[in-house]
């Protein structure tokens, strides 16, 4: 009897000992994802990035923490905000557009950076090549679509002669701005020569600048305006849409929401797809992959949205052949 009790006791200890050892193992701290964001922080549960990472097994507050720094109202402070975010030593950084990615890259060469919409990253020196990015940057690359946007616009405005390019500034270092301006100018000039129009850049550094710019565009009889989706322009989306309608200037952009608020047409990469794909990169890096080993992926989903209501108000006729090619038509 005593022998049976002794064997049972030893057996129980043998089972309990590894369980106790397992229970005493220190809990792994959650991974930290740092984001330099052109939207308000903190990120909400319905945010696409949060939802995609949850699908991949990364749950906010459990095994992952989002450290989000917003640039809304602070676009001119991007370098300082990037420095602040990097100083917190997250496991991986996410950012877009180019000026945000560049600001983070200038602060760290070791923390992985995932681009959500890195514009022309090879030409601008963010990576070595798409297949072999090298360094600490990878993610999703975007095309510069000004030439294609103008080609689409000319189908609606065949007598296109003068085009304004309105760019919001803020957050770029002088070197960044010079290089971006040079590359953008080359592509715009190539498009202008091919389609027979001239172009002029207008820079907005504050919200009030847009009023003056659009008033001038109407007074000087510009045929159209192209508005890229950089942070300051995005922050002033409603204002820009209202001004374009008020001054009766056909407006072209790259973000589909802009057509919904009054732009004549938009043609650009699908930001939802880009963010979701970017989170796939975050997942791989958090599981041990090196950014230098992850080829950069080019956005392949491009959306054309046409606002027929705006076209009618401007007295423009959209060719049926263009309407059938649109991904969305607003009537």
Structure tokens at 87: 């100083």
Give the separation between CA 155 and CA 265, rounded to whole angstroms. 11
**Domain extents for the chain?**
31-142+271-298, 146-269+302-330
pLDDT at 172: 57
Q: pLDDT by residue for the chain (331 residues), tens digit each? A: 444 444 454 444 444 445 444 445 567 899 999 999 988 999 888 999 999 999 999 999 999 999 999 999 898 899 999 999 999 999 999 998 888 999 999 999 999 999 998 888 998 889 999 999 999 999 999 888 999 999 999 999 999 999 999 998 865 555 555 677 787 888 899 999 999 999 999 999 999 999 999 999 999 999 999 999 888 999 999 999 999 999 999 999 998 889 999 999 999 998 899 999 999 999 999 999 999 999 999 988 899 999 999 999 999 999 999 999 999 999 9
Phi, psi of 219 (to 5 degrees): -65, -35
Give the separation between CA 167 and CA 153, rounded to whole angstroms. 19
Domains 31-142+271-298 and 146-269+302-330 share a fold: yes
Sign of the Cα pseudo-torsion (125, 300, 297, 141, in order): positive
| CATH code of the domain made up of 31-142+271-298 | 3.40.50.2300
State the CB neighbour count (10 A cutoff) for residue 94: 27
What would the DSSP string read from start to end of 108-174? Answer: -SSS-EEEEEEESTTTTTS-S-SS---TTEEEEEE---HHHHHHHHHHH-TT--EEEEEEE--S--H
Instruction: Kindly indicate whether the domain formed by 146-269+302-330 is annotated with CATH number 3.30.390.10.
Output: no
pLDDT at 96: 87
pLDDT at 181: 76
C-alpha distances out from residue 147 to 121, 137, 154, 177, 255, Å: 18, 27, 11, 20, 16
pLDDT at 131: 95
pLDDT at 180: 72
Nearest Cα neighbor of 63 from 20, 33, 24 is 33
pLDDT at 26: 60
Give the separation between CA 251 and CA 95, rounded to whole angstroms. 27
Greatest distance between any 2 Cα atoms in the chain: 106
Q: Which residues touch 294 (CB under 8 Å, ≥6 apart)? A: 133, 138, 281, 284, 285
Give the separation between CA 102 and CA 187, rounded to whole angstroms. 21
Helix (H) or strand (E) holding 289: none
Burial class (CB in 10 A: 0-12, 13-18, 19+), 310: buried
């Amino acid at each position: 009897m005593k022998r049976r009790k002794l064997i049972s006791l030893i057996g129980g200890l043998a089972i309990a000992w590894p369980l106790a050892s397992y229970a005493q193992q220190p809990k792994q701290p959650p991974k930290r994802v740092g984001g330099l964001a052109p939207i308000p922080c903190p990120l909400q549960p319905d945010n696409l990035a949060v939802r995609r990472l949850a699908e991949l097994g990364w749950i906010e507050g459990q095994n992952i923490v989002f450290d989000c720094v917003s640039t809304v109202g602070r676009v001119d402070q991007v370098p300082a905000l990037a420095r602040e975010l990097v100083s917190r030593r997250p496991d991986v950084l996410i950012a877009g557009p180019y000026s945000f990615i560049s600001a983070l890259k200038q602060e760290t060469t070791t923390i992985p950076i995932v681009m959500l919409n890195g514009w022309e990253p090879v030409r601008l020196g963010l990576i070595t090549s798409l297949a072999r990015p090298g360094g600490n940057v990878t993610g999703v690359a975007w095309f510069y679509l000004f030439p294609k946007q103008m080609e689409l616009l000319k189908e609606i405005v065949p007598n296109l002669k003068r085009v304004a390019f309105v760019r919001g500034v803020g957050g770029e270092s002088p070197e960044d701005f010079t290089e971006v301006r040079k590359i953008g100018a080359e592509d715009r000039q190539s498009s202008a020569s091919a389609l027979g129009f001239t172009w002029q850049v207008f820079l907005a550094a504050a919200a009030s600048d847009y009023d003056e710019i659009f008033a001038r565009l109407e007074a000087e009889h510009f045929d159209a305006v192209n508005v890229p989706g950089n942070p300051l322009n995005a922050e002033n989306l409603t204002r820009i849409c209202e001004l374009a309608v008020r001054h009766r200037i056909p407006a072209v952009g790259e973000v589909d929401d802009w057509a919904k608020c009054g732009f004549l047409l938009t043609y650009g990469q699908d930001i939802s797809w880009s963010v979701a794909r970017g989170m796939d990169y975050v997942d791989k890096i958090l599981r041990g992959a090196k950014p230098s080993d992850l080829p950069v992926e080019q956005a392949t989903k491009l959306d054309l949205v046409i606002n027929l209501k705006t076209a009618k108000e401007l007295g423009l006729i959209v060719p049926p052949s263009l309407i059938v090619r649109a991904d969305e038509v607003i009537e």
